[in-house]
Amino acid sequence: MTKRFCVLVAITMVSARAGMAQNPPAPPPPPAPAPAAAPARPAPTTQSPQIDCNWLSVDSASKTATFQLTAGLTGLNSALNFNGFKDGGLTVTVPVNWNVVIQFTNHDGMLPHSAEVIDTVKPMPAGPLDPAFPRAMTVRLTQGLGSGEKDTIRFTASKAGSYLIFCGVPGHGLAGMWIHLHVSATDKQPTLTATSSAGR
């Protein structure tokens, strides 16, 4: 039986995720204070991304987590985002040894994108690396898939640890187009969590 799971929490560090349930972070302040003669329209503010529980579905019987990964879902970061999150702002957690299916779609009307699971590295690479798990990547990793194109990634999360889901098109990951994948030795169910953008 397939169920949908997500945990709508905001946390400060991925490693401190478990058990922490807070409200989503408040939007950052506008870039400059409003002048005395304030305009009628509100000052622009950044829009907080929201998790959609439909992104993650879970089949406990087959230990399979299926994640809808959409490149350029919103205009955040000039569309260099996954599901509207950038700089690790979203964490997908799966129990170790589960099967992971990532259904990738490029929603960006302007640029090609791709996705791969890589080890957490610093500094962020400018281009693609070898995937952390065999075949944990879309086709045309460097070239990317064009607007509207889809691909499915299937792999087994065979080793616990912290990984990145990273756009392999040169420059995109470096510009913030990555989220976290946490392969947990303790969690029993896959989850989605909003996390802070560490370092940004």
Residues 18 to 47 in contact with another protein, rule: CB under 8 A: 28, 31-32, 34-35, 37, 39-41, 44-47
How many distinct helices (H) and strands (E) make up the chain?
0, 11
β-strand partners of 183: 94, 161
CA nearest 159: which of 88, 67, 92, 94?
94
Q: How far is the CB of 64 from another protein (least distance, A)?
A: 28
Q: Are 131 and 117 in contact (CB under 8 A)?
A: yes
One of 1, 19, 110, 188 touching another protein (CB under 8 A): 110
Shortest reach from residue 118's CB to another protein, in Å: 16
- Cβ closest to another protein, residue 21 vs residue 43: 43
Of positions 53, 148, 150, 158, contacts another protein by CB under 8 A: 148
68, 147, 189, 197: which one binds another protein (CB under 8 A): 147
Distance spanning both ends of the chain, measured CA to CA: 39
Residue of 13, 150, 171, 198 that binds another protein (CB under 8 A) = 171
Toward another protein, which CB reaches closer, 114 or 191? 114
Size of the site for another protein (CB under 8 A): 42
Ordered DSSP codes for 41-86: SPPP-PPPP---GGGEEEETTTTEEEEEEEET-SSGGGG--BTTB-
d(CA 161, CA 65): 17
Q: Which residues bind another protein (CB under 8 A)?
A: 28, 31-32, 34-35, 37, 39-41, 44-47, 72, 74-80, 107-112, 126-127, 142-149, 170-171, 174-176
